[in-house]
Chains A and B, each alone.
Chain A
């Protein structure tokens, strides 16, 4: 099979990229999805709050997905989809990329294409990676696994629940389990601040009097067969448990919402350069990775808190991939400007730009390293500060962005580096 663009992943990123690529003129687009339906993780995110930016209304996850699925259906003249198909290898040799797929129906087969958009999403950090000591009974789930069991299969993973990690999935699951009749004893958070959105703390915890315990973690897991209890402890500034603060909570379920990790096995295997800070590919202003014609967007690039931003980013990546296959964009010169995270900034997307490939506006997304009150977000062109923007509060759990104008960047003759930092 031969295509112009192959998009790996039919979740929010892949769908938005496909639609945008088609609208930008690409004709032979293939979306490969391993599940039976399109929409990815949105299908199990049945709560509302999606789409405020994109559609100016509050939608549930499946509704948000369906809007994009509909857009794909309307573009069947240029977009094909393959369901229940897993990509097991991607290889880039010169201008041709070869995608190896596997499915029940077709066995092993390859698709040759000019461009690949990586949109595989992310996975949850498991218990093992958190190094929580104790026994290993049934009843310890990552929050997303529990979400699937409840929201798709209609069963209950447990009745007495403790949640470790106050990321949004953890908060959402605290409410969900409560509404399904379970008792949620507490949400614990290792850090002194929540990793989730404030509105979720109010709607998911406060509404149901579920305590959020900051600077607290699980130090022991008990129960030989099914979980029987967890032991919690407060942690000090170095995140080490403080002796004497231990508390035993009897429960049959521990849900872990301790971070998401971009799923980049294919990306790494094909030799794309990875940013160790994000776990995702290093991309330029066009969301193009270190391999020409290979693009990355959505949670496989860096973990987002709002799907709306995933769609926005993926749209851009789709458009750029279309320009790549249609040859309407200048090839990458060596004349790049690096983007550098300065003080208080963990990473930026993109990591490099080229003036000749910029659009009118350049959105730089980034995350901060800690909670800062009243910071100024500063943009430096080399050593020159060109912008200071005051902000009430910034937190690692909420993605930030600055938008620069092309004309401002191009006005500077020889910039080598753009730095974003907090002051």
Chain B
């Protein structure tokens, strides 16, 4: 059994969670210190398979001095945050861009797509 102290990010209350669990076993997780269901879910995900949304920018080839913002959908595993961020430096799009346009499907094998989040005319 392992124990982790977490601050819940479910809402601005920021409850301090104590999570007891066996590595990789979602059924083993016991969350205490939470004041609602959100805390239990966050605590469980955080010790079993933490996920994050990566936001960043990619180059716009035909607009000098401009980049366009992007995000991963759905969230990617937390340990892929840095590799995916680095990968963004190698990507290019052409203006105009539209919110929701796919830049890359299944980025770095995460199963998540990289989507444009800004309209550039």
Direct A–B contact in the complex, CB atoms closer than 8 angstroms: yes
| A residues at B contact (CB < 8 Å) | 43, 46-48, 58, 60, 62-63, 66, 150-154, 179-181, 197-199, 201-203, 206-207, 392-393, 398
Among residues of A, the one whose C-beta sits closest to the C-beta of B10 is: A199
Distance in angstroms between the alpha carbons of A66 and B101 in the assembled complex = 14
- Residues 1-22 of B contacting A (Cβ, < 8 Å): 6-7, 9-14
**Inter-subunit contact A66/B99 (CB<8 Å):** yes
| B109 CB–A CB distance under 8 Å | no
Q: When the two chains form the complex, which single residue of B9, B69, B86, B119 contacts A151, counting CB atoms closer than 8 Å? A: B69
**Inter-subunit contact A152/B85 (CB<8 Å):** no
Taking the nearest CB of chain B, how far is it from the CB of A236, in angstroms? 26
- Residues 63-85 of B contacting A (Cβ, < 8 Å): 65-67, 69, 71, 78, 81-82, 85
**Inter-subunit contact B82/A46 (CB<8 Å):** no
Residues of B within 8 A of A398 (CB): 12
Distance in angstroms between the alpha carbons of A43 and B52 in the assembled complex = 21
Residues of A within 8 A of B11 (CB): 199
With A62-B118, A198-B9, A199-B14 known as contacts, the answer to whether A153 contacts B67 (CB < 8 A) is: yes
Chain B interface category by residue count: 20 to 34
13 further contact pairs, Cβ within 8 A, besides A60-B117, A180-B85, A198-B9: A43-B118, A46-B71, A48-B55, A62-B119, A150-B57, A151-B69, A179-B81, A179-B82, A180-B56, A199-B9, A202-B6, A206-B7, A392-B13
A-B contact pairs, 29 of them (CB 8 A): A43-B118, A46-B57, A46-B69, A46-B71, A60-B55, A60-B117, A60-B118, A62-B99, A62-B119, A63-B117, A63-B118, A66-B99, A66-B118, A152-B66, A152-B67, A153-B66, A154-B67, A179-B85, A180-B56, A198-B9, A199-B9, A199-B10, A199-B11, A201-B7, A203-B9, A206-B7, A392-B13, A392-B35, A393-B13
Among residues of A, the one whose C-beta sits closest to the C-beta of B14 is: A198
**Inter-subunit contact B7/A151 (CB<8 Å):** no
| B59 CB–A CB distance under 8 Å | yes
Residues of A within 8 A of B119 (CB): 62, 66
Q: When the two chains form the complex, which single residue of B7, B52, B117 contacts A46, counting CB atoms closer than 8 Å? A: B117
Q: When the two chains form the complex, which single residue of A43, A152, A179 contacts B54, counting CB atoms closer than 8 Å? A: A179
**Inter-subunit contact B14/A48 (CB<8 Å):** no
Distance in angstroms between the alpha carbons of A398 and B86 in the assembled complex = 33
Among residues of B, the one whose C-beta sits closest to the C-beta of A36 is: B121
| B53 CB–A CB distance under 8 Å | yes
**Inter-subunit contact B71/A60 (CB<8 Å):** yes
| B residues at A contact (CB < 8 Å) | 6-7, 9-14, 35, 52-57, 59, 65-67, 69, 71, 78, 81-82, 85-86, 99, 117-119
Residues of A within 8 A of B9 (CB): 198-199, 202-203
Taking the nearest CB of chain A, how far is it from the CB of B32, in angstroms? 16
Distance in angstroms between the alpha carbons of A143 and B13 in the assembled complex = 25
Taking the nearest CB of chain B, how far is it from the CB of A176, in angstroms? 8
Distance in angstroms between the alpha carbons of A127 and B118 in the assembled complex = 31
Taking the nearest CB of chain A, how far is it from the CB of B11, in angstroms? 8
Among residues of B, the one whose C-beta sits closest to the C-beta of A305 is: B12
Residues of B within 8 A of A60 (CB): 55, 69, 71, 117-118
Residues of A within 8 A of B13 (CB): 198, 392-393
Residues of A within 8 A of B55 (CB): 46-48, 60
Residues of B within 8 A of A198 (CB): 7, 9, 12-14
**Inter-subunit contact A154/B59 (CB<8 Å):** yes
Interface core residue of A66, A199, A207 (most chain B CB under 10 Å): A199
Residues of A within 8 A of B54 (CB): 179
Among residues of B, the one whose C-beta sits closest to the C-beta of A69 is: B119
Taking the nearest CB of chain A, how far is it from the CB of B120, in angstroms? 9
Taking the nearest CB of chain B, how far is it from the CB of A189, in angstroms? 15
Taking the nearest CB of chain B, how far is it from the CB of A173, in angstroms? 13
Q: When the two chains form the complex, which single residue of A62, A152, A207, A392 contacts B117, counting CB atoms closer than 8 Å? A: A62
Residues of B within 8 A of A43 (CB): 118
Distance in angstroms between the alpha carbons of A101 and B79 in the assembled complex = 51
Residues of A within 8 A of B65 (CB): 153-154
Residues of A within 8 A of B10 (CB): 199
Residues of B within 8 A of A63 (CB): 99, 117-118
**Inter-subunit contact B57/A202 (CB<8 Å):** no
Residues of A within 8 A of B7 (CB): 198, 201-202, 206
Among residues of B, the one whose C-beta sits closest to the C-beta of A39 is: B118
Residues of B within 8 A of A393 (CB): 13
Residues of B within 8 A of A199 (CB): 9-12, 14
Distance in angstroms between the alpha carbons of A207 and B85 in the assembled complex = 14
Residues of B within 8 A of A181 (CB): 86
Taking the nearest CB of chain A, how far is it from the CB of B34, in angstroms? 12
Distance in angstroms between the alpha carbons of A157 and B95 in the assembled complex = 25
**Inter-subunit contact B99/A58 (CB<8 Å):** no
Distance in angstroms between the alpha carbons of A63 and B118 in the assembled complex = 6
Distance in angstroms between the alpha carbons of A43 and B86 in the assembled complex = 22
